[in-house]
Structure 1
Amino acid sequence: MSQARVPSRWGPRWSRWVGRALAKGLWRTEVRGVGNIPADGPVIIVGNHVGLIDGPVLHGVIPRGSHFLIGSHMFRGALGVLLRGAQQIEVVDSGRDALARGLAVLRRGDVVGVFPEGTRGAGRADAVHGGAAWLAIQSGAPIVPTALVGTRHTGEPTGVWPRPGRRILVEFGEPFSLDLDEALRGRARQEAAQRLLAEALRERIDATLATTDLTLPADAGALPKETP
């Protein structure tokens, strides 16, 4: 990949406080396992994806500035201005440029957030894409599997903006590094990394659900309508 422009640290310095105000002020977000996030050095936060507010909530409760990989459909209008100002990473087309920027952030020693399911849905990580695994292979950064519960309820559309006071739970699991067979190369290495990451995320989700009365939605949710 070609040299990518590294997103500025300034964006997350202010935008994480916006996310925190939403998570803790507008909604009632319980945060567990925050001590599992390394205090310094590169880190990849991977979370399950249920609804629209997953990104701002997670961005707000991570105790360090973070740059999330976000689909280009979100970079529209006033929200697009906000996301660009927050120095979040826009995923366009194949995502090659976004991955290059994410890798640059990690090599700088900072935090990258990824929702490896790629789209909002039931949030059970039944299928994940390979971007986060690729970043882990290339950077050697530890991965923190993270469960989000309560951001969307059964029957709500994926674009729901919950009413004030919604109970939400975010739990950060223990960080791990990919332990891959040195004989694996190319696609086989990528696929093995992807399986390990998916398994770790599903285990985190199951462990979190076992300790709360909050539940994941029983449906994939209706996607918000596109505006012309």
Structure 2
Amino acid sequence: MFYWFLKRVLAGPILRMLFRPWVRGLDNLPSDGPAIIAGNHNHFMDSIFVPLLAPRPVVYLAKKDYFTGRGLKGAVTRWFFKLNNQLPMDRAGGTGSQASLESGLKVLGEGNSLGIYPEGTRSPDGKLYRGRTGVARLVLESGAPVIPVAIIGTDKIQPPGRLIPKFRRVGIVFGSAMDFSKYEGLPADRFLLRSVTDEIMYEIMRLSGQEYVDKYASSVKTKLLTSSKPKRTEGSKPADQRKKGSTAEGADEAPDESD
């Protein structure tokens, strides 16, 4: 299986040499059966370090953009994520999110471990943000235990504005399994979903030592992008009133949300 070849022969030894990852709490991971591995998210390599150090494969739900890119780069990215046991996830809501939920339930139903980031996107500043309730839906519908995980140090690998990553130590801490069977049979209303999600986020915060912010990371990202846009000075013309073919002063190219 290429997954094991990549982990043990091709990429794994190189990553271990460059980042010297350390791990704690491996005995908290069940050796078999379904498990939801819920962690914080600071860097795209979080989805690489956790499977690298876990004794069993971890299937991650990754944003669908990684699977829809065009050209050579898109093909390579799609190939890489598929070989790393990652599945596309639609975060737009509606039928797309339902399909992602069903994909996750299928992974768990086959007795595998599923990795998920309750924050829904990467933290913009290394803090821990409010979890989205998709993880609670997975928990309640699958009945699988939750293994909270803290991924430490990946926020320092590639700070904003840095193109070349820093090769520094990172760590993974697996917490004790969380059992939510006490809620079996109860209606999964928004209050229960929020309660389960917050309980998971508290454990992640306790393990990681991160500062918790009771806001969605995506909202904070949007606010940061909006505030970084240069304001139009008084008397300047709107873009649609400038001469055709002219270059807009201070034009913004909103960067793609990476995760």
What residue number does 1:226 align with? 256
In structure 2, do the counterparts of structure 1 residues 14 and 104 end up closer, same or farther at CA, with 3 Å as the change threshold? Answer: farther
TM-score w.r.t. structure 2 length?
A: 0.69
In structure 2, do the counterparts of structure 1 residues 154 and 168 end up closer, same or farther at CA, with 3 Å as the change threshold? Answer: closer
Quote the Cα distance in structure 1 between the aligned partners of 2:161 and 2:146.
Answer: 26
Kindly indicate whether the alpha-carbon contact (under 8 Å) linking 2:139 and 2:146 is maintained by their aligned counterparts in 1.
yes
Higher relative contact order (CA 8 A, sep 6+): 1
- Structural mapping, 1:1-228, within 5 Å: 12-17=3-8, 20-21=12-13, 23-75=15-67, 76=69, 77=74, 78-92=76-90, 93-94=92-93, 95-121=97-123, 122-153=125-156, 156-157=159-160, 162-164=165-167, 166-178=168-180, 180-181=182-183, 184-187=186-189, 188-206=191-209, 225-226=255-256
Kindly indicate whether the alpha-carbon contact (under 8 Å) linking 2:140 and 2:188 is maintained by their aligned counterparts in 1.
no
**How far off its partner does 1:47 sit?**
0.9
Decide which moves more: 63-72 or 170-179.
170-179
TM-score w.r.t. structure 1 length?
A: 0.77
For the residue of structure 1 that corresponds to 2:132, the secondary structure is: coil
For the residue of structure 2 that corresponds to 1:152, the secondary structure is: helix
Gaps of 5+ in 2: 212-219, 226-253
Larger Cα-atom Rg? 2
For the residue of structure 2 that corresponds to 1:194, the secondary structure is: helix
Quote the Cα distance in structure 1 between the aligned partners of 2:117 and 2:162.
Answer: 16
**Identity over aligned residues, as a percent?**
27
1:144 aligned partner, one-letter code? I
| Cα deviation code 1:60-108 (max 9, x no counterpart) | 1111011101112233311122112333110123322121111111111
Decide which moves more: 52-61 or 140-149.
52-61
2:29 aligned partner, one-letter code? I
| Cα deviation code 1:33-71 (max 9, x no counterpart) | 111101111111111011121111112111101110111
**How far off its partner does 1:191 sit?**
2.0
Quote the Cα distance in structure 1 between the aligned partners of 2:128 and 2:23.
Answer: 20
Gaps of 5+ in 1: 1-9, 210-218
